[in-house]
Amino acid sequence: MANPTAAILLIGDELLSGRTRDSNMFFLAQELTRLGIDLKLAMMIPDEAQTITDTVRDVSGRFDHVFTSGGIGPTHDDITADAVAAAFDTPIGVRDDARALLEASYTPRGIELNESRLRMARIPDGAALIDNPVSAAPGFSIGNVHVMAGVPRVFEAMCHALLPGLASGRPVLSQTWTVMRGEGEIAARLGEIAADFPDLAIGSYPFSKDSVYGTNIVVRGVDGPQVEAALVILAEAFPA
């Protein structure tokens, strides 16, 4: 059976303006590869409610899992939870279990659970909470959509809580063969080798070192013997 597929929506005006550099997609891609869930799409979209709602509706129908990052904090522009609820035509409000998590974190520290902070306890009806061991405010899963924080440390903690419980597939294996020749010199033969291994992803990635050009050939797939066989052919075709 094919591995489950996934998409990630990176939500935030600060990402699109260049003010903030995203690292969450990089982290998630590595974790999903390890688990055997194939990340097929990454999109960066603004803090616009209708855009979020429309995009969630679209991608949730095309992939097994959709992950979102950003827009679930206490401020006026944190609109992801409401937009996702709208995508599922589901009511949203402060939920007792989410509120209890915030109270358990804030009360011992003498922090007031004011109206702004309570925004982080607004959860769509029927959603399952995603644990947040860093700052307490939970994410949530509704349908096949998993809504998580944008702060990298919190996003990563939520992923560690969420991902082990998801249906996964066969981990993707990866091997690299380095050739100190430019892509133009190896392209024809490399294309022939790739055609002989249709179940593998074989990519070429050029680099330069001390004015010498080289190419990293990366072989990826779920079948270990096939990956190794392709590596043997590459070594014969392009001796180190």
CB 130 within 8 A of CB 138: yes
Where do the domains of the chain lie? 5-165, 173-237
Do the beta carbons of residue 220 and residue 228 sit within 8 Å? Answer: no
Q: What is the pLDDT of residue 1?
A: 73
Q: DSSP string covering 7-72, please?
A: EEEEE-HHHHTTSS---HHHHHHHHHHHHT-EEEEEEEE-S-HHHHHHHHHHHHTTSSEEEEES--
For residue 240, the model assigns a pLDDT of 78
pLDDT at residue 98, rounded to an integer = 97
One-letter identity of residue 79: I
Q: How far apart are CA 180 and CA 168, in angstroms?
A: 37
Domain 5-165: give its CATH architecture: 3-Layer(aba) Sandwich (3.40)
CB atoms within 10 A of CB 97: 10
Question: What type of residue sits at position 16?
Answer: L
State the pLDDT at residue 90. Answer: 97
Q: Spell out the per-residue pLDDT of the chain, length 240, in tens.
A: 789 999 999 999 999 999 999 999 999 999 999 999 999 999 999 999 999 999 999 999 999 999 999 999 999 999 999 999 999 999 999 999 999 999 999 999 999 999 999 999 999 999 999 999 999 999 999 999 999 999 999 999 999 999 999 988 999 999 999 999 999 999 999 999 999 999 999 999 999 988 888 999 999 999 999 999 999 999 999 997
**Contact 178/202 with Cβ under 8 angstroms?**
no
- The pTM score is 0.88
| pLDDT at residue 39, as a whole number | 97
Domain covering 173-237, topology: Alpha-Beta Plaits (3.30.70)
Best CA proximity match to 33, nearest among 168, 162, 156: 168
Can you tell me the distance from the alpha carbon of 146 to that of 130, in angstroms, rounded to the nearest whole number? 8
pLDDT of residue 87: 98
The answer to whether the 5-165 and 173-237 domains have the same CATH topology is no
